[in-house]
Structure 1
Amino acid sequence: MTKLRVELFLFNAFLLAGLCAQISGLLVRGLRKEIANGMQANQPGVVVRTTSKMISTFQPLISNALKKQIPQMSFGDIVQPFLHGHVNISSMKLKRFKAQDRFDCRLEEEPVPRIRVTLAGLDADIASNLSVSSRLIQLHSPLDLWAKNLSVDLAMMLDNDNPNATLKLSVPECKASIGFTDFRIHNAGKYGPFIPLFRKQIINHINGGISSLICSQVKTLVDKQLNAYFNTLPVQYPLMNINSTSDDLGSALGALFNFPGMKMDQAQREKVLSNLMLNMSLIAKPNIKSSYIDTFHSGAVCWKTGGVSALQAKPMNLSSYNSERMLNIFISDYVLNSLLFLMFRDNLVYLGFDPNKVDGFKDLLKVPCDAEFCLGAVVPEFKTKYPKHQAWLTYQPNNAPGVLIDSNGVHLLTDGILTLYATSKRKMYRLLVVLVDLSVDISLRMKNGQIFGEAVIEDLDTQVLKHKMAFDESRFSILTGFTKLILQQSLNDLLRRGFKLPNLGGFQLHNPNLRTVQNGLLIETDMQMGEEMLQKMTGHILSAKH
């Protein structure tokens, strides 16, 4: 009996845990259940898929940059055991260098996911100093080395455990080989006649030393320099660069924060916009396949000062998407919803305004008014009962506005309370309370690297909750219809301004295409990256002291 009770307890515990996991998203205050449904922990908000086309396209650029930068690399010393002592080759400098005939970078899934890099066909004439210390030989002399047909084959693995959640590379495998090696000792002295006896052994030691040095240098370059370079890259990117051009403030995002009733002047708006960041920190280990690499990023919109979003992303089915473009960027609806929830949480979508001064709406929302279809006509007693009062409208959202995305487009949902007040210096009277539920369908497109949209209001439902004076319901219904048309026009004016994608540095989108998929947006694009940037990046890495 006791065993049965234990089993029942465990079953109920697991069932409760499962239910909690399913409804965890619903417990976030201020989040509509349609938006919360399907949210899961540890899901990325942004997935960047780098395809093999991008790797193969940039191979010549990378190869050319390496040809210019490898001769500038610093070399360490070669120390090898020799005749109960050691050989030390130091102060190595390139006298002549022939760049690689072949540079190849490819993706492998087996035996483990990794990036395979091969350089082959390098030649090098090296001036150095030789020091031999053993029981039989004590020799110090300048040394010339000739190494021909050098090749390096290495495997690199990707991880996400750099201190600031950027990419981390490791080199579990490295193999270097030399096709032909020879040397000349300038001052062999009394040991000159014996050098031919040990030539083959010396060459073997030189080959082993150079091969070991090359792989050691490669691992040092990757472990210390390349990962250090990744650590310098930001993980937070501003949604808008208001210091670049005035166009940014006039974009769709800038216009959103200039919506009537937001109570922000231009200086306050600029401050808010300059502090909005997109968190691109890695949240999972990159996934390497034979034709692409997926990197998984947070995608949360947050303030520059930090903070964690209360929301979670929904899973996106990426396996069914195959593209021949260089880069696929999957943007979950989590990115937009975290922005809207942030605005809701910080009371940025609480609106309060004089209806007689709202551009585009003032004819409809005028109180009092003499026209047949206006807010003043819906509450005609305002003029007689509150002759010395001003009208004041507020909109308080019940929940954060949210978006759902599928193959048919973007669907914006919002609901809240619209309240009409009669105000004077001394008192404020609440006259009319209306519940508003709005549903908007938005289609998106890309042009010149910006996202544009077109909105159609699917539903604008209103329900009068309270009124303190005579109320004309038929006129209110007609007023709602006019408001729907004007609001739709205002949304389209906003969406026509366009939204610039955050500048992720160095890369430029080339002929991007945007489409909506289940739970997100997909941007398919080719990329452009100048050789100057590659030289700057490789120069920073290869010229570093090892």
Structure 2
Amino acid sequence: MGAQSLAVACGALALCLALAGATDPGFVVRITQAGLDYAHQQGITILEKELAQLKLPDISGDFRIRHVGKVHYGISSMDLRSFHLPHSRISLVPNVGLQVAISNAFAEVDGNWRVKIHFIRDRGSFDLKVENIYIKINLKLGSDASGKPTIDTSDCSTRISKVRVHFSGKFGWLYNLFHDAVESRFRKILENKVCTNVVSSVHSELQPYLQTLPVTAQIDAMAGIDYSLVAPPTATAQALDAYLKGEFFSLAHRSAVPFPPLPLAFPPDHDRMVYFAASSYFFNTAGFAYHAAGALVFEITDSMIPKDIEFHLTTSTFSAFVPQLEKMYPDMPMKLRLSTLSAPFLSIGPGGLSLKPVVDVQAYAILPNSTLAPLFLLTLTGNVSAVIDIKSSHIVGSLNVGRMKLSLKHSDVGTFQVRTLQSIMNILASSILLPRLNARLEQGFPLPLLDRIQLSNVLVRFHQNFLLLGADVQYQPRGWR
């Protein structure tokens, strides 16, 4: 093998290892150009206020005038009355980050001046107008060790093409001799000050705000969601993508998920400001986490049956379907315990979201001494579909149960026709189990949003292996009601 062939082989091996070690996200956030434009609008407003508070140093110097001699001047008490950024845009720089370009900005400054020529002294005030200010800012995106996004200024440049100063005073011919020197020095000072302020604002304002993105979100006493970045945000020609772990976990004991996330074929949608792609992996880790936490066990007793249902959960009721109950456990209350041997597995396709849970239903008779006597064990399978929406920045949903199928897994009271219990199980599932599940799903799961962001104009679409949520955003400043 030649050196060139060896290099190619090593390169191919390195690529394979890199791909093998890559982590597919369970959740993707995409910010479109419309979303960046909105964020840019909010940021420019803040930057404009920051630049208007620039502190400008005093200026002093000497120069010589032919036939007059040395002239000493000083500029002090400079006050930046305004700084306007009327024209700006934000652009995506693929594989790098973002670029903000500001053009035709202008500012106004006033202050005091003094001049000394031999024994002649004069002083007064001045107005200075700065026009055609051009600012270019390059922003580099990354992530820290905790999986939170980071942003830094990789480059900043400022160019000022016009500075006009007007001095008030008696010696107009004299001021005209040194205004060029003042304008030149002021231009250099302001160009440096602007970029220094931009870098400071990115570190003090923008970076802390990005850190408000939740890395973990606690849902309840049993589970949370890991929203940490699995890679730095990626800029393409059309959008900014953030790849998140998107994994539910048990708060009591976090264990490795026994299945990997699937690749997401993100569609080229750009009508909304932001899109969220929640993969089937994201939802299935929820089932895994709650199953591991023991939360997918439900017990049904007679007291839970709605009063408008005309039967009781007793051996007398079930003896019509299981004749041996009347003889073995006459007129005793019953309890049903529903559990799953494994976490339910959900699938997502263009037609929607569905799952086919397999549930064990263990029936007990409650004896007079409160102990439980096992009666029979049923296996219940069914088709369940889900309706998904966004409410108050949470993914919410509700379940609909289709046809269910019962089979007898074990009996302690002899054989009986299982199909005769179908109607009772349908009633119990629709009137007790489903409302409880839907009440929990109505509370929803929080989306990974920066502080003070509200969503509107929401759309929901289903794709192969993931749910796509689109929305426009609105930033609510502090104190907003």
TM-score strictly above 0.5: yes
Aligned to 1:261: none
Aligned to 1:153: 136
Mapping of residues 390-401 of structure 1, within 5 Å: 390-401=333-344
Are residue 116 (structure 1) and residue 99 (structure 2) matched? yes
C-alpha distance in structure 1 between counterparts of 2:62 and 2:229, whole Å: 48
Task: Give 5+ residue unaligned stretches, structure 2.
Answer: 1-12, 64-72, 115-122
Aligned to 2:35: 54
Cα distance change on mapping 1:290 and 1:142 into 2, 3 Å: same
Are residue 518 (structure 1) and residue 464 (structure 2) matched? yes
**Residue-by-residue CA offset, 1:1-25 (whole Å, 9 max, x unaligned):** xxxxxxxxxxxxx9xx99xx8xxxx
Are residue 466 (structure 1) and residue 410 (structure 2) matched? yes
1:225 to partner: Cα distance = 3.4
C-alpha distance in structure 2 between counterparts of 1:193 and 1:80, whole Å: 16
Which of 453, 457, 461 is the aligned partner of 2:402?
457
Equivalent position SS for 1:400: coil
1:514 to partner: Cα distance = 0.7
Aligned to 1:172: 154
Aligned to 1:227: 207
1:318 to partner: Cα distance = 3.4
C-alpha distance in structure 1 between counterparts of 2:160 and 2:77, whole Å: 20
Mapping of residues 80-479 of structure 1, within 5 Å: 93-94=79-80, 96-109=81-94, 112-127=95-110, 146-161=129-144, 164-182=146-164, 196=177, 200=180, 203-237=183-217, 239=219, 272=221, 276-302=223-249, 307=254, 310=257, 314-355=261-302, 357-359=304-306, 366-370=313-317, 375-387=318-330, 389-424=332-367, 425=369, 427-444=371-388, 451-453=396-398, 455-458=400-403, 460-473=404-417, 476-479=418-421
C-alpha distance in structure 2 between counterparts of 1:292 and 1:237, whole Å: 25
The alignment-based identity, stated in percent, is: 18
Counterpart amino acid of residue 334 in structure 1: Y
C-alpha distance in structure 2 between counterparts of 1:88 and 1:311, whole Å: 74
Equivalent position SS for 1:366: coil
Question: Of the two structures, which has the highest relative contact order with CA contacts closer than 8 Å and spacing of 6 or more?
Answer: 1
Cα distance change on mapping 1:113 and 1:164 into 2, 3 Å: same
1:422 and 1:430 in contact (8 A); partners too: yes
Aligned to 2:69: none
C-alpha distance in structure 1 between counterparts of 2:146 and 2:125, whole Å: 46
C-alpha distance in structure 2 between counterparts of 1:126 and 1:201, whole Å: 17
1:355 to partner: Cα distance = 4.9
1:316 and 1:520 in contact (8 A); partners too: no
1:286 to partner: Cα distance = 0.9
1:356 and 1:367 in contact (8 A); partners too: no
Equivalent position SS for 2:271: coil
C-alpha distance in structure 2 between counterparts of 1:308 and 1:208, whole Å: 59
Counterpart amino acid of residue 211 in structure 1: E
2:51 and 2:83 in contact (8 A); partners too: no
Aligned to 2:67: none
1:352 to partner: Cα distance = 3.0
C-alpha distance in structure 1 between counterparts of 2:135 and 2:261, whole Å: 43
Counterpart amino acid of residue 527 in structure 1: V
Superposed CA RMSD? 4.4
Cα distance change on mapping 1:129 and 1:438 into 2, 3 Å: farther
Q: Give the number of the structure whose residues are more often strand, by fraction.
A: 2
2:96 and 2:235 in contact (8 A); partners too: yes
**Residue-by-residue CA offset, 1:435-486 (whole Å, 9 max, x unaligned):** 333432335466898755462425x34332322223222xx21322552466
Counterpart amino acid of residue 135 in structure 2: V
2:250 and 2:292 in contact (8 A); partners too: no
1:93 and 1:126 in contact (8 A); partners too: yes
Cα distance change on mapping 1:194 and 1:445 into 2, 3 Å: closer
Equivalent position SS for 1:103: strand
1:236 and 1:277 in contact (8 A); partners too: yes
C-alpha distance in structure 2 between counterparts of 1:81 and 1:235, whole Å: 54
Cα distance change on mapping 1:46 and 1:398 into 2, 3 Å: same
**Residue-by-residue CA offset, 1:129-166 (whole Å, 9 max, x unaligned):** 999xxxxxxxx9998754222221111121122x6432
Counterpart amino acid of residue 84 in structure 2: A
C-alpha distance in structure 2 between counterparts of 1:515 and 1:329, whole Å: 10
C-alpha distance in structure 2 between counterparts of 1:516 and 1:398, whole Å: 28
**Residue-by-residue CA offset, 1:61-102 (whole Å, 9 max, x unaligned):** 5545554x235534375999999xxx99887531x3251231
C-alpha distance in structure 1 between counterparts of 2:297 and 2:192, whole Å: 66
C-alpha distance in structure 1 between counterparts of 2:452 and 2:315, whole Å: 56
C-alpha distance in structure 1 between counterparts of 2:389 and 2:205, whole Å: 40
Cα distance change on mapping 1:444 and 1:49 into 2, 3 Å: same
Cα distance change on mapping 1:107 and 1:217 into 2, 3 Å: same
Mapping of residues 31-50 of structure 1, within 5 Å: 42-50=23-31
1:314 and 1:519 in contact (8 A); partners too: no
- May I ask how many residue pairs the two structures share in their alignment? 440
C-alpha distance in structure 1 between counterparts of 2:102 and 2:243, whole Å: 29
Cα distance change on mapping 1:326 and 1:180 into 2, 3 Å: same
TM-score (norm. length: structure 1) = 0.67
